[in-house]
Amino acid sequence: MIFRTFFTNSFGILVSRIFGFVRDLLTANILGANIYSDMFFVAFKLPNLFRRIFAEGAFTQAFLPAFTKSRTKGVFALHVFVRFFIFIIFLTTLVIVFSPFITKIFAYGFDNEQVLQTAPLVSINFFYLVLIYAVTFMASLLQYRSHFATTAFSTALLNIAMIISLLLSNISTPEKTVYYLSFGVIAGGFLQVLVHIYAMKKMGLFPLVFGAIKYRKTHKQNENERKVFYKNFFHSVLGGSTVQLSSFIDTWLASFLAAGSISYLYYANRIFQLPLALFAIALSIGIFPRITKLIKNSNESEAIKLLTKGFWFLTFLLSASALGGILLCEPIIKILFERGSFNSNDTVICAEVLSMYLLGLVPFGLSRVFSLWLFAQQRQKEAAMISAVSLGCGALLSFALVYILGVIGLALANSISGLLLFILTIRAFGIKIFFSIIKLKKLTVLLAVLVGEFFVLSALKDILQPLF
């Protein structure tokens, strides 16, 4: 079961990321790494920041355990959906009205002209949050029914829509291209909503949610459940958003550096996110509902066994990905992006940023899996405190290292904060339990695999070096 759901999620994410890399390749080719690409990435990062904090991150982590335990699931789900939808509409309206001010906050290093050029893009892109919240709500219900395929594959629709917008804008100026891209984001969001509506209808979930409208007598019975959910959600906002908030801080600091710095962070982070999403996120999505149900039924021993399988499976995949990525970071960037407006100097800088990001791949990926244990036990407050400490230390390191290493220092600070996040998460999970799942035999096999990978990739890099 664990591997079936993992491969479903992983394959869906892989398809999406392939289209995503095609999108990034076209973006790098058409826009390069300059002020126009920086403007779009700032505008696109804003809804993605809130999406991952309010929708994909905190919402799912708080909603699924509460929904699983609820005695009146339909009433509970409908109430939560309406309340959050109203809040997100209100938030979106505020961002649109005050877009120049919001843009200045997120890209403080931009001058006034750049802020005014970016503000309309922020308004357009932020509407994506409304659409993706609806997708996330429906995805959570589908996960409860052990249906993962629709959500896993649907992100590809966003990338396809953006690819089409880039192709349509190929003969336009950079100023118009960023508008094409922004409207492509909205089109992709609508497509994601439509496929989730179809999946909800096919799984028979609409009667569960909207059929609850007539059950008003259960409102008071549901009140305590909702209080617990909102409390856990508030804590999950911070607890599940360390990576996103770190990314925002990095973007803010990079706006003070040379033009193209934000783009280097974006392109490198996109590659870093591939194994993180393909392995860590795919696995955590697959096992989270099952671990939640096992803990609800007081069957922690089975939950530990499931977590142990996921831990070792993920450790091998992430370790191999991190080592391979560090050894081949420059050829990877060169193959993917060095064409058109993206030159060889951009490749060197972007590769150095990528190698620093990859140092944190294993701790970030593993901490995500172990944090699911805290979320399933509804220990969101504890997870929030862990993330707050990690985020604070990461922010201090970013401010310090950016003046020493520039944009490379921002990526290094991100990885160090990921290591701290992992250590603190393991402490909360239980050090004794963690060491009980560490097996010397498997560690020896892992070390042998990594040593073999190192020699093979080093030799391959030397052989192929003339081609690059």
More confident residue, 466 or 304: 304
What's the pLDDT at 136? 87
User: Quick one: 335 exposed, middle or buried, by C-beta within 10 A (0-12, 13-18, 19+)?
Assistant: middle
Is pLDDT of 216 > 60? no
The token duo for 343 is 């030159």
Is pLDDT of 447 > 90? yes
| Nearest of 72, 68, 376, 59 to residue 230 by alpha carbon | 59
User: Quick one: 97 exposed, middle or buried, by C-beta within 10 A (0-12, 13-18, 19+)?
Assistant: exposed
What's the pLDDT at 113? 83
Q: What is the mean pLDDT of the chain?
A: 82
> What distance in Å separates the CA atoms of residue 262 and residue 110, rounded to the nearest whole number?
11
Contact assessment for residue 372 and residue 291, using Cβ atoms and an 8 Å cutoff: yes
Is pLDDT of 382 > 70? yes
| Average pLDDT over every residue of 297-311 | 84
DSSP string, 111-143: -HHHHHHHHHHHHHHHTHHHHHHHHHHHHHHHH
> What distance in Å separates the CA atoms of residue 282 and residue 273, rounded to the nearest whole number?
12
What's the pLDDT at 466? 62
What's the pLDDT at 188? 92
What's the pLDDT at 450? 92
DSSP string, 203-215: TT-HHHHHGGGG-
User: If pLDDT is split at 50, 70 and 90, which confidence band does 69 have?
Assistant: confident
CA 6 distance to own-chain centroid = 17
| Average pLDDT over every residue of 419-431 | 92
The token duo for 18 is 């392939």
The token duo for 382 is 């504890």
Is pLDDT of 231 > 80? no
What's the pLDDT at 284? 79
What's the pLDDT at 169? 81
Q: Lowest mean pLDDT of 206-215, 300-309, 425-434, name the range.
A: 206-215
| Element at 61 (helix H, strand E) | helix 58-69
| Average pLDDT over every residue of 109-114 | 79
| Average pLDDT over every residue of 327-352 | 85
| Average pLDDT over every residue of 433-444 | 88
- The residue whose two tokens read 């393991």 is 426
Backbone angles phi, psi at 299, to 5 degrees: -115, 65
What's the pLDDT at 222? 62
Is pLDDT of 213 > 70? no
What's the pLDDT at 53? 62
The token duo for 396 is 């201090």
CA 289 distance to own-chain centroid = 19
3 state DSSP class of 72: coil
Is pLDDT of 337 > 60? yes
Contacts of residue 59, defined as CB under 8 A and 6 or more positions apart, other chains included, come to: 84, 133, 136, 137, 140, 233, 236
| Average pLDDT over every residue of 231-249 | 69
Is pLDDT of 196 > 90? yes
| Nearest of 375, 413, 411 to residue 393 by alpha carbon | 413
More confident residue, 314 or 467: 314
What's the pLDDT at 358? 94
123-170 residue pLDDT tens: 898 889 889 889 988 988 888 887 878 887 888 899 999 999 988 887
> What distance in Å separates the CA atoms of residue 32 and residue 24, rounded to the nearest whole number?
10
> What distance in Å separates the CA atoms of residue 379 and residue 283, rounded to the nearest whole number?
20
What's the pLDDT at 246? 72
> What distance in Å separates the CA atoms of residue 162 and residue 147, rounded to the nearest whole number?
26
Q: What is the DSSP-derived secondary structure letter of residue 55?
A: I
| Average pLDDT over every residue of 201-206 | 84
DSSP string, 372-399: HHHHHTT-HHHHHHHHHHHHHHHHHHHH
- The sign of the dihedral angle between the CA atoms of 329, 334, 335, 340 is positive
| Element at 329 (helix H, strand E) | helix 329-337
Most confident of 10-24, 173-187, 249-263, 378-392: 173-187
283-294 residue pLDDT tens: 877 787 778 778
* Residue type (1 letter), 222: N
Contact assessment for residue 327 and residue 461, using Cβ atoms and an 8 Å cutoff: yes
Question: Looking at beta carbons, which pairs linking 399-404 to residues 24 or more positions away fall under 8 Å?
Answer: 399/253, 402/253, 402/257
| Nearest of 271, 257, 242 to residue 393 by alpha carbon | 242
Contact assessment for residue 142 and residue 151, using Cβ atoms and an 8 Å cutoff: yes
* Maximal C-alpha separation, the chain: 74
| Average pLDDT over every residue of 289-300 | 79
- The residue whose two tokens read 């497509």 is 191
The token duo for 277 is 């999403």
User: If pLDDT is split at 50, 70 and 90, which confidence band does 242 have?
Assistant: low
What's the pLDDT at 207? 77
- 216 to each of 30, 75, 204, 289, how far by Cα in Å? 55, 8, 22, 28
86-105 residue pLDDT tens: 988 998 899 888 888 888 87
Q: Lowest mean pLDDT of 34-48, 77-91, 411-425, name the range.
A: 34-48
Is pLDDT of 257 > 90? no
What's the pLDDT at 416? 92
C-beta neighbour count of 331 within 10 angstroms: 18
8-45 residue pLDDT tens: 777 777 888 788 878 887 887 777 667 777 888 888 87
